[in-house]
Amino acid sequence: MTEDAEKLEKGETEAAQTEGASKEEETGALAEPPRPSYREMLSSPLGYVFNVRMLRRVVQIVFFLGINAYVMVSLFGGQQFVAFWTEFSHILPSIPILAPLQGPAAILAGSFDTLQREFSSGLFPFFTIGAMMIILTVIGRTACAWACPIGTIQDFATLPKRNKIRPAPSTEEEMRRVKAYIFIIVMFLVVWVGISRWTGTSDMLTAALGPFAVAAFDPFNPAYILFVALPNIISQHLWPVSLDTLWYILQWGWFLGQFVFVIVVVMASVWFPRWFCRWLCPAGWIYGVFSKDALIGIGRNPAKCTPETCNVCEAACPMNIRIRRYPYQHMHSPDCIMCLECKSHCPNKAIVVRFS
């Protein structure tokens, strides 16, 4: 058995094996992935247009429009586009992304958004949980990378800036815990409201919880703010246009705060790729729990991977995963969203998609 094959067998990690890797772990500093030279681009121009990165961008845009496909009808009369997405939503009524179905143009729902509403209505979401678990245990968090509109917004915001800020692993670990705490609080509230419906005490509780009563994460959910709150504010003209309508300020002021939060999510993504997904999204946390041991995952070919001298995959990873810490065979990370950025950037073609 070769040395590389032994490594594969034992699933050794190698970040701790090299001094360079240790320094990176302390500081979080990673070199940005190299960009192709013009000579390389000209030698294979089609390869730079038709590749997995470009395919993902296209799929992201299609899902972004498809999730709120009724917008297409009002803007362009795209009935066929809507018909396609309506059929899709019949097959998969909710998928593991962030997308509330309450938007005026919405066709597709996120599993977490649906879970909250079902719990707070006093129902147990058997079907939503079952479908979510099946999807996540087979294809992992692929929908986060390819379909979630909030992931898409962050990815596109990240594109213009090359040098990203990446916290040291210990800080990153601390920050990742925040989304788990948010998940626990949200679930506590929606289950509490659901139980109160059974006991007939829901009126007082929902009045006390206000905007947190139906789906407790909605007030901070960028998808809800953009696709539900924003169209409502616009269609109902809920902004102060004169002194007489200044009393709208209460409603408007709350929305303004939410909108500023969305702007912060987008702007911060320029320097911190997918920071909302990594640290704040409670949906991403529960999706990660079920997708950790998904059938499809990322692995590395030990015969091609050179972890002592190369960190290109880690520098390219928008989820800031220390890929070289994981076994070669299969990287069981709850944070991997299968965006395949590591695979696209690896200069040695060492990253492989595993089915196991």
Binding positions for ligand SF4, rule: CB under 6 A:
97-98, 144, 148, 150-151, 276-277, 281, 283-284, 298, 316-317, 319, 321, 323, 336-342
Which residue in the shown chain puts its C-beta closest to ligand SF4?
A: 284
Shortest Å, Cβ 228 to ligand SF4? 15
Extract the tokens encoding 220.
């901070």
Q: Which of 238/352 has CB closer to ligand SF4?
A: 352
Nearest residue (CB) to ligand SF4, 218 versus 341: 341
Nearer to ligand SF4, 8 or 340 (CB): 340
CA distance 317 to 304: 19
Question: Given its phi and psi angles, is residue 28 left (phi above 0), alpha (psi -120 to 50 degrees) or beta?
Answer: left
Considering beta carbons, is residue 107 or 316 the nearer one to ligand SF4? Answer: 316
How do strand 296-300 and strand 351-355 relate by DSSP bridges?
A: antiparallel
In the complex, least distance from residue 74 CB atom to ligand SF4, rounded to whole angstroms: 25
Least CB distance to ligand SF4 at residue 195 (A) = 26
E strand segments, the chain:
94-95, 109-110, 296-300, 351-355
Nearer Cβ to ligand SF4, position 135 or 338?
338
CB of 293 to ligand SF4, least distance (A): 15
Contacts 24+ apart (CB under 8 A), 169-176: 169/25, 169/28, 169/322, 171/28, 172/28, 172/278, 172/320, 175/278, 175/279, 176/278, 176/279, 176/335
Written as six digits, the tokens of 126 are 């058997």
CA distance 259 to 352: 40
The b/e string for 33-43 (b: 16+ C-beta within 10 A; e otherwise) is beeeeeeeeee
In whole angstroms, the minimum distance from the beta carbon of 111 to ligand SF4 comes to: 9
Minimum distance, C-beta of residue 199 to ligand SF4, in the bound complex (Å): 32
Judged by beta carbon, residue 131 or residue 317, the one nearer ligand SF4 is 317
Comparison of 63 and 255: residue with beta carbon closer to ligand SF4: 63
Least distance to ligand SF4, CB of residue 57, Å = 14
